[in-house]
Amino acid sequence: MEATALSGKQAGSCSKIINCKHCGSPCSADNSFCSPSCKAAHLADSDTSAPILFSPAATADEKGEFQLELGIEGIHCASCIRLIENALAENPDVTAARVNMSTERLTVAWRGTQARGDALAHQVQQLGYRLYDLNVKNDASTASDAEKELIRAIAVAGFAAGNLMLLSVGLWTSTAEAMGMATRELFHWLSALIALPTVIFAGRPFFRSAIAVLKSGHTNMDVPISLAVTLACVMSISEIIRGGEHVYFDSAVMLLFFLLIGRYLDARAKGKARQSASRLLSKLAGTATVFENGNLVQRPVKDLAAGMRVLIAAGENVPADSTVCKGASDIDMSLINGETMPLSASSGTPVFAGTLNLTAPIEAIVDKVSNKSLLSEIVRMMEVAEQGAAKYVRLADRAAALYTPVVHAFGALTFLGWWVLMQAPWQVSLLHSVTVLIITCPCALGLAVPVVQVLASGELLKSGILLKSGDALERLSKVDTVVFDKTGTLTLGTPELVKGTYSEDHMQMAASLASHSRHPLSKALAAAFSGTLLDAEVEEVPGKGLSATVAGLTVQLGSRIWCGPEGGTEDTDLELWLNMEGTPAARFTFADTLRIDAADTVRKLHQMGLDTRILSGDRQATAKRVADTLGISETIAEVSPTEKCAYLNALKAEGKHVLMVGDGLNDAPALAAADASMSPSSAIDIAQNTADIVFQGDKLTPVVQSIYIARRSTKLVRQNFGLAVAYNIVAIPLAVAGFVTPLIAAAAMSGSSLIVILNAFRLKKRAKI
Which residues lie near other proteins (CB under 8 A)? 14, 16-17, 77-78, 81-82, 86, 89, 99-103, 148, 151-152, 155-156, 159, 162-163, 166-167, 179-180, 183, 186, 190, 194
Q: Where are the alpha helices (DSSP H) in 424-559?
A: 426-440, 443-462, 472-477, 504-514, 520-528
The DSSP string of 617-684 is SS-HHHHHHHHHHHT--EEE-S--HHHHHHHHHHHHHTT--EEEE--SGGGHHHHHHSSEEEEETTS-
Closest among 323, 310, 314 to 351, alpha carbons compared: 323
User: At closest approach, how far in Å is the CB of 764 from other proteins?
Assistant: 21
Q: Which is nearer to other proteins, 351 or 467 (CB)?
A: 467
User: At closest approach, how far in Å is the CB of 447 from other proteins?
Assistant: 22
| Alpha carbon distance 275, 679 (integer Å) | 17
User: At closest approach, how far in Å is the CB of 183 from other proteins?
Assistant: 6
User: At closest approach, how far in Å is the CB of 190 from other proteins?
Assistant: 7
Q: Which is nearer to other proteins, 78 or 422 (CB)?
A: 78
| Alpha carbon distance 568, 587 (integer Å) | 12
- The answer to whether 27 touches 18, Cβ cutoff 8 Å, is yes
Q: Which is nearer to other proteins, 82 or 715 (CB)?
A: 82
Closest among 13, 84, 26, 724 to 407, alpha carbons compared: 724
User: At closest approach, how far in Å is the CB of 99 from other proteins?
Assistant: 7
- The answer to whether 724 touches 756, Cβ cutoff 8 Å, is yes
User: At closest approach, how far in Å is the CB of 710 from other proteins?
Assistant: 26
User: At closest approach, how far in Å is the CB of 510 from other proteins?
Assistant: 38
485 is catalytic: yes
Q: Which is nearer to other proteins, 179 or 365 (CB)?
A: 179
User: At closest approach, how far in Å is the CB of 268 from other proteins?
Assistant: 12
- The answer to whether 85 touches 99, Cβ cutoff 8 Å, is yes
- The answer to whether 334 touches 683, Cβ cutoff 8 Å, is no
Report how far apart, in Å, the C-alpha atoms of 569 and of each of 521, 573, 582, 657 are: 20, 11, 21, 45
Other CB atoms within a 10 A radius of the CB of residue 601 amount to 24
User: At closest approach, how far in Å is the CB of 163 from other proteins?
Assistant: 6
User: At closest approach, how far in Å is the CB of 100 from other proteins?
Assistant: 4
Q: Which is nearer to other proteins, 154 or 509 (CB)?
A: 154
Catalytic hit among 471, 485, 663, 667: 485
Give the amino acid at 665.
L
Q: Which is nearer to other proteins, 14 or 754 (CB)?
A: 14
Q: Which is nearer to other proteins, 273 or 672 (CB)?
A: 273
CB-based burial, 233-260: b 16+ in 10 Å, e otherwise: bebbbebbeeeeebbbbbbbbbbbbbbb
Report how far apart, in Å, the C-alpha atoms of 697 and of each of 9, 463, 679 are: 18, 9, 11
Report how far apart, in Å, the C-alpha atoms of 280 and of each of 141, 194, 644, 757 are: 16, 45, 23, 33
| Alpha carbon distance 413, 55 (integer Å) | 65
- The answer to whether 62 touches 125, Cβ cutoff 8 Å, is no
Q: Which is nearer to other proteins, 162 or 733 (CB)?
A: 162
The CA R_g of the chain, rounded to the nearest whole Å, is 32
Long-range contacts from 549-554, C-beta under 8 angstroms, 24+ separation: 550/509, 550/512, 553/580, 553/581, 554/580, 554/581, 554/582
Q: Rounded to 10 degrees, what is the CA torsion of 203, 205, 211, 213?
A: -140
Q: Which is nearer to other proteins, 1 or 621 (CB)?
A: 1
| Alpha carbon distance 616, 671 (integer Å) | 13
Q: Which is nearer to other proteins, 157 or 227 (CB)?
A: 157
Q: Which is nearer to other proteins, 162 or 500 (CB)?
A: 162
Closest among 715, 676, 720 to 465, alpha carbons compared: 676
Classify burial at 543, counting beta carbons within 10 Å of its beta carbon; exposed 0-12, middle 13-18, buried 19 or more: buried
User: At closest approach, how far in Å is the CB of 67 from other proteins?
Assistant: 14
Which residues belong to the active site?
A: 485
